[in-house]
Structure 1
């Protein structure tokens, strides 16, 4: 029996400890086994909980060590040394991003000042590898964490992330910046208000018009998500000429992200007369474009949702509707 206890592996996380506790409760339902097992189970639980707590403390220490690396003054001059320092900093960011997938660690990093350091020093760093890793860490911490989101908005992370998304020369920085923007504005009223005040919809429009396919896709997806969740902002984007811009995007060589573009156009015509009017503008020739697109998508299983958006938009805008021009021809 002693050998069996020595060979047992204790749980390394809270979920395992909980399973162990449930098992202990199951044993307690069998009176004959209680006396024999309770002391052993109790010992397991104590040791397992101690291991979990020790692991959590170790993670906090790891974060502190990573922040010590990121807080170091940068030495200029020796190229090899600079490269080594950059490698150390990149490794520190990668460790932090992995650790902060745990929500408790994300909150601890905020308390330790790690997010302030990211925003103040690394989102604008000269090295692109550090910029995108900083944006990635911000995204990891902000996702589904209202307390962290509020802190990042307070220290003006969003305008810096929008700037990275809009104009950074490195494609990966732009993509990671937009991911972090999304984590700050989706399902977050204060984040959306800040996004609007910094002309975020224009940033998404330019992202869809870029040559960066990942940025195109993420921009179109976020636009669709925001319009679906917040239809009250349709007038804002329509007044920006969004319908005309989206149609011009659809005229570019076909890409999978066009599915989200068509979805956004569908949102803009639902219960919105101005959106319908813009889509029916003869100069856009949208009806012919949709007919051609629907024909090209027929029979392609992977394009069924895009085809559905296409048909929905044609029905909403053109079926049963006759333009003024056609009326004059008669």
Structure 2
């Protein structure tokens, strides 16, 4: 239904633009109410005396009926959220498999519903985030823990109100503990997903991440045996370096360059592409990072040249090759030129 309404909005705006309207000045609808206002407004603007295709009575009636159905569906979704929270809030009386399955299904349904930003906010207003962080991240069943961590991430994506609520409940500390110490690989991966949703483009989240020594936790995650966890940890590190270069000094003082290079010396895998990407971000416009890479004990220049030879004819590793070549240029090109001049 929402797809039909937005399609109608696009149709109305297109007609307005055909008559010289200014769609770029029109704020985009953020919810169904805003969509109703914008669609009718666009249809009204397009219905000028010279416009050959005005909004007909039938179209207006269709739009109103569609909105009525959509709003009814939205109200129904709020009731579903409430029902799920009631199920999750009830204690497991007999510790039966059936009771656990009901809670798993409730978390699964909430994950689907909260893909919608309005539903995510409603879930949070109904104390859902409090329930997840104070109960379900600590429950003994790994299935419930990973679903709770996943739901925290889903709700927190691009919704400042939800992010602020989660951070006020010490979400970063609890999720970092799961990422670092949980016995379930799936729980660790989902905890990392939730952390990413709370720290990327979220200054307050990053402050908490740094306070809880999050970079060290990321480094340990990259040293695990779980490929997905290694890749996602390196990817988050790379993105944080790109968006917050002011923390490069902290990472260098932690020995991050040495640790990343040591990871590259493990058996070759797709994970290495992301490690090299993180190193590229770390040394870009940062002389201290370049100096660390030039440390003779690392023999990093020789390693990069060897890796270029290994992957240069393999199409699936072309991005890795580009990272290696970029590191050679950034860290060693001047050294090679100076050496040639000396000789």
* TM norm structure 1: 0.87
Q: How far 1:14 moved relative to its partner? A: 4.1
**Structure 1 residue 65 and structure 2 residue 116: aligned?**
no
Q: How far 1:28 moved relative to its partner? A: 7.8
Q: How far 1:274 moved relative to its partner? A: 2.0
Mark the CA change 1:210 to 1:271 in structure 2 (over 3 Å): closer, same or farther.
same
Structure 2 counterpart of 1:4: none
Structure 2 counterpart of 1:312: 326
Output the CA distance in 2 between the equivalents of 1:17 and 1:260: 42
Structure 1 counterpart of 2:138: 124
Q: How far 1:44 moved relative to its partner? A: 2.8
SS at match of 1:201: helix
Output the CA distance in 1 between the equivalents of 2:43 and 2:92: 54
SS at match of 1:75: coil
**Structure 1 residue 286 and structure 2 residue 277: aligned?**
no
Instruction: Please give the per-residue CA displacement for 1:181-239, whole angstroms capped at 9, x wherever unaligned.
Output: 00000011111111111111111111111000000000000000001111110000000
- Judge conservation of contact 2:311–2:317 (CA < 8 Å) in 1: yes
**Structure 1 residue 50 and structure 2 residue 64: aligned?**
no
- Number of corresponding residues: 312
Mark the CA change 1:311 to 1:24 in structure 2 (over 3 Å): closer, same or farther.
closer
Output the CA distance in 1 between the equivalents of 2:309 and 2:170: 47
Mark the CA change 1:314 to 1:55 in structure 2 (over 3 Å): closer, same or farther.
same
Mark the CA change 1:169 to 1:43 in structure 2 (over 3 Å): closer, same or farther.
same
**Structure 1 residue 99 and structure 2 residue 117: aligned?**
no
**Structure 1 residue 15 and structure 2 residue 6: aligned?**
yes
Mark the CA change 1:218 to 1:11 in structure 2 (over 3 Å): closer, same or farther.
closer
Output the CA distance in 1 between the equivalents of 2:213 and 2:273: 24
Among candidates 186, 210, 217, match of residue 203 of structure 1: 217
Structure 2 counterpart of 1:260: 274
- Judge conservation of contact 1:100–1:141 (CA < 8 Å) in 2: yes
Unaligned runs of 5+ in 1: 1-9
Q: How far 1:76 moved relative to its partner? A: 4.0
Q: How far 1:115 moved relative to its partner? A: 0.8
Displaced runs of 4+ in structure 1, greater than 3 A?
10-14, 16-35, 40-43
Q: How far 1:292 moved relative to its partner? A: 1.1
Among candidates 187, 212, 218, match of residue 173 of structure 1: 187
Q: How far 1:284 moved relative to its partner? A: 1.1
Output the CA distance in 1 between the equivalents of 2:73 and 2:232: 36
Instruction: Please give the per-residue CA displacement for 1:264-321, whole angstroms capped at 9, x wherever unaligned.
Output: 1122222322212211111111111111111111122221111111011112222231
SS at match of 1:255: coil
Unaligned runs of 5+ in 2: 13-38
Structure 2 counterpart of 1:7: none
Q: CA RMSD in A?
A: 2.7
Among candidates 127, 133, 152, match of residue 166 of structure 2: 152
Output the CA distance in 1 between the equivalents of 2:189 and 2:100: 21
Q: How far 1:13 moved relative to its partner? A: 6.0
Q: How far 1:97 moved relative to its partner? A: 0.5
Output the CA distance in 2 between the equivalents of 1:120 and 1:226: 28
Mark the CA change 1:66 to 1:282 in structure 2 (over 3 Å): closer, same or farther.
same
Mark the CA change 1:241 to 1:13 in structure 2 (over 3 Å): closer, same or farther.
same
* TM norm structure 2: 0.84
